[in-house]
Amino acid sequence: MPELPEVETVVRDLRRKLIGQAITDLWQDQTMIIKDWRKQRRRVFDPVLIKRFRRDVLGKRVVAVQRRGKNILIFLEGDICLLVHLKMTGHFLFGDWSDGQRRAENYIHVVFNLDSGTDLAFSDVRKFGKILWGAASEILNLPEIVKLGPEPMEDSFTREVLSLRLIGVRTPLKPVLMDPKRIAGIGNIYADEILWRARISPYLSARDLKSSQIKSLHVAIRAVLSRAIDLRGTSMRDYRDTSGEKGSYYDVVSVYGRHGKPCRRCRTQIVREVLRGRSTHFCPRCQPRLA
């Protein structure tokens, strides 16, 4: 599942390649990727919905692209905003997606034709991805945006802000880091990497962190995420950028997927355990449970 660095990579690509371009036409199949934000659970293909979508987006130019948590926000002229969530396997692909090309690629469900002559496709093997649209104010007020915690890469995410998010929380630290209502955008891979870097056990209750640990946690969050953004994310399985390329962070991971291998700091074997249903990788020596 794409996490903050992967979505940030996509957002930066979209900013570079999409801003200023108008959507001239649109193709879509009958999967439920384009959704009405008022009826997101609806499972019947609705041609009227597609008609409305076409009316709202065709001829409009892209004016801005932003990220909020793992959501991609594409702002069009005329106060229209698209919210895209890649979910498990969704991705954008720039290229020539005319009929023949599209048929050769099984998982393309939506194609935006752009006035530069390039197409932007939305491909999704598992089909959990979604594209919602509406007035910018409607989209920015959706619960999935409003309820998000602070953005860990913004200047406003200080050590004090992090500390406030952890006060009184009994839950083990790892699921706390992964809770988007507490901090936006951190998923399983980067939570493991961050905790190893900060030398904190994933099992430690968030409320038991000493101030020195909060300090190292804050440094680790920034360091791990910014390195992952520089390397254009992690492609363990499905994630690709908008050119279909893999990110290379997986080549430099410290713990994720390295169980049985020596810790890069102390040579102790990395272990994998299941914590709250998620596989968790850590060094038992660098990250002792009772620290």
Could you confirm whether 181 is annotated as catalytic? no
Q: Which is nearer to Zn ion, 135 or 266 (CB)?
A: 266
Q: Which is nearer to Zn ion, 39 or 285 (CB)?
A: 285
Name the minimum Å distance from CB 286 to Zn ion.
3
Name the minimum Å distance from CB 254 to Zn ion.
9
Could you confirm whether 70 is annotated as catalytic? yes
Q: What gap in Å lies between CA 55 and CA 57, rounded to an integer?
A: 6
Contacts with Zn ion, residue ranges (CB under 5 A): 263, 265-266, 268, 283, 285-286
Q: What gap in Å lies between CA 145 and CA 154, rounded to an integer?
A: 16
Name the minimum Å distance from CB 227 to Zn ion.
19
- The one catalytic residue among 15, 61, 87, 278: 278
- The one catalytic residue among 3, 6, 8, 193: 3
Q: Which is nearer to Zn ion, 207 or 265 (CB)?
A: 265
Q: Which is nearer to Zn ion, 180 or 288 (CB)?
A: 288
Q: Which is nearer to Zn ion, 103 or 267 (CB)?
A: 267
Axis-axis angle for helices 211-230, 159-166 (nearest 10):
110
Could you confirm whether 278 is annotated as catalytic? yes
Q: Which whole-number Å values give the CA distances from 260 to 30, 263, 271, 286, 288, in the listed order?
A: 45, 9, 6, 15, 17
Residues in CB range of 47: below 8 A, 6 or more apart? none
Could you confirm whether 174 is annotated as catalytic? no
Name the minimum Å distance from CB 237 to Zn ion.
27
Name the minimum Å distance from CB 263 to Zn ion.
3
Q: Which residue is nearest to Zn ion (CB)?
A: 263
- The one catalytic residue among 17, 70, 102, 165: 70
Question: What are the catalytic residues?
Answer: 2-3, 70, 278
